[in-house]
Structure 1
Amino acid sequence: MKTTGNTILITGGTSGIGLGLALRLHEAGNKVIVAGRRKELLDQIAAGHPGIDTLVLDVTDPASIAGARETVTRTHPELNVLVNNAGIQLPEPLLEGDSLRVAEDTVTTNLLGPIRMVNAFLPHLTAKEDAVVINVSSGLAFVPLPITATYNATKAAIHSFTESLRVQLADTSVQVIELVPPAVRTTLMGQQDNEHAMPLEDFLTEALNLLHTQPDAKEILVDNVKFLRHATANGTYDDVLAMLSAY
């Protein structure tokens, strides 16, 4: 992936990793469109960062995705990068009554959302040079955090979907990249002050440096996530799972 001169749509871009990526990529000389559900946050981003465009988008709503495709391909026909970042992570105590609601919401947002976005935008992207789909998964795709059972499962599914997508698009102009964050200090699970999580700015610096120095990368793995990504290969899976089970 080239790291400048792109037109990039980022879902879930109003906070955390999504907003961080948007600001860094904008500063690097890319046109960035931040998409999210809350118009008031989008308005604040647009006002505070001239040059960044915004789009109201709910990835759980197929009609909203269809409308976003129509709007973005009309207003930004040069769009060549889609970053599927929108997601939720909620505690899911499986013995409690509302765990099914959490599971269903998580699947709709974290799995169906990116799949629907890819299906909506792929016809446009395959007609562009230097096109890229970046799917944001998680280190928990490889060793689960038991309290967020369905979150882990959706991220494992995104990993598998991304692998298949890459193979199917091998003969097209579209590069497929999986960005695999570790625990990062964001509000996703209220871990913005968690000393065990990676500072957001450190994550962004390392991840974007990897994108810049490894333009053909299939996965972007910062050092802090490698103990999860390679746990099975390293024979440490049971130990890592036991550690995560204590949270």
Structure 2
Amino acid sequence: MKLTGNTIFITGGGSGIGRALAEEFHRRGNQVIISGRRKSALEETITANPGIASIELDVQDLKSIQNAAQRLLRDFPSLNVLINNAGIMLPDTVDAVQDDAQLVATVTTNLIGPIRLTSALIDHLKAQPSATIIYNTSVLGFTPMALTSVYSATKAALHSYVLSQRFKLRDSSVSVIELAPPWVRTDLMNSREAEAAMPLEDFLNEVMQQLGTDALEILAGNAPHFRNNPGPQEHAFVNHFNATLPF
């Protein structure tokens, strides 16, 4: 994708990977609009980066998505890049009764929300000379972590959706890109100080380098190792992965 001259909307843009992408695209001369759950994080981001805009959006609520889409198309008619980045990742109990409220929130935020938002903007994006949809999935969509079984399942489902959407849009002006991060030092699962996680700056550098090519899958750090898991031996790989985790 081209890295300058875009109008980019990023969900979950107030922290972590979303904020890092927002700031980097802003530095490269793009018009960036962000949304997120925490207003304080959004305010901090736009204050630190004059020129970045924000809009209110609850990705769990269909009406909120529809309203946000209408505002985006009204206020930013040149919108040509959508980055579905918002997500929640919480430990769950796949071996016992799942917390139903957490289950619904995770599936709605990580899977239904991105599908709804993209659906609300797809006709506009198809009408642009060049447009890009980016889905932030996870290597856990290929190698699930048993501690976060629902999160992993939503990312696997989103990967499947990306493949279908990319095929259907193959003759359009819209590129569909999957960004599948490895473990990165962010607030997700309190990973900011995790030594084994990839530093956010290193991750961002690799991601931007790959985004500047024609790559349809963005795999930074050790992500290719997990991406290559599905196959005849995937069950043994997943079992070994989970058995080596410290929790």
Calculate the TM-score normalised by the size of structure 2: 0.94
| Cα deviation code 1:148-194 (max 9, x no counterpart) | 00100000000000000001111111110000100101111111111
Paired residues, number: 245
User: Which residue of 2 is the match for residue 202 of structure 1?
Assistant: 202
Maintained 8 Å contact 2:6/2:80: yes
Alignment of 1:145-160 (within 5 A): 145-160=145-160
Maintained 8 Å contact 2:133/2:176: yes
Matched-pair identity in %: 47
Moved more, 219-228 or 175-184: 219-228
Maintained 8 Å contact 2:203/2:221: no
Moved more, 34-43 or 170-179: 34-43
Moved more, 225-234 or 4-13: 225-234
3-state SS of the aligned residue for 2:155? Answer: helix
3-state SS of the aligned residue for 1:165? Answer: helix
User: Which residue of 2 is the match for residue 142 of structure 1?
Assistant: 142
Tell me by how many angstroms 1:233 deviates.
5.1
Alignment of 1:160-199 (within 5 A): 160-199=160-199
- State the one-letter code of the partner of 2:220: V
Alignment of 1:36-47 (within 5 A): 36-47=36-47
3-state SS of the aligned residue for 1:189? Answer: helix
Give unmatched runs, 5+ long, in structure 2: none
Calculate the TM-score normalised by the size of structure 1: 0.94
Which stretches of structure 1, 4 residues or longer, exceed 4 Å deviation after superposition? 95-98, 233-237
- State the one-letter code of the partner of 2:241: M
Give unmatched runs, 5+ long, in structure 1: none
User: Which residue of 1 is the match for residue 225 of structure 2?
Assistant: 227
User: Which residue of 2 is the match for residue 77 of structure 1?
Assistant: 77
1:241 pairs with 2:233: no
Maintained 8 Å contact 1:143/1:241: no
Q: In 1, Cα distance between the equivalents of 2:243 and 2:191?
A: 17
Tell me by how many angstroms 1:245 deviates.
3.6
3-state SS of the aligned residue for 2:102? Answer: helix
| Cα deviation code 1:190-233 (max 9, x no counterpart) | 11111111111110000111111x2x211111131111000235
- State the one-letter code of the partner of 1:210: Q
Q: In 2, Cα distance between the equivalents of 1:239 and 1:172?
A: 37
3-state SS of the aligned residue for 1:223? Answer: coil
- State the one-letter code of the partner of 1:190: N
Maintained 8 Å contact 1:135/1:179: yes
Maintained 8 Å contact 2:94/2:146: no
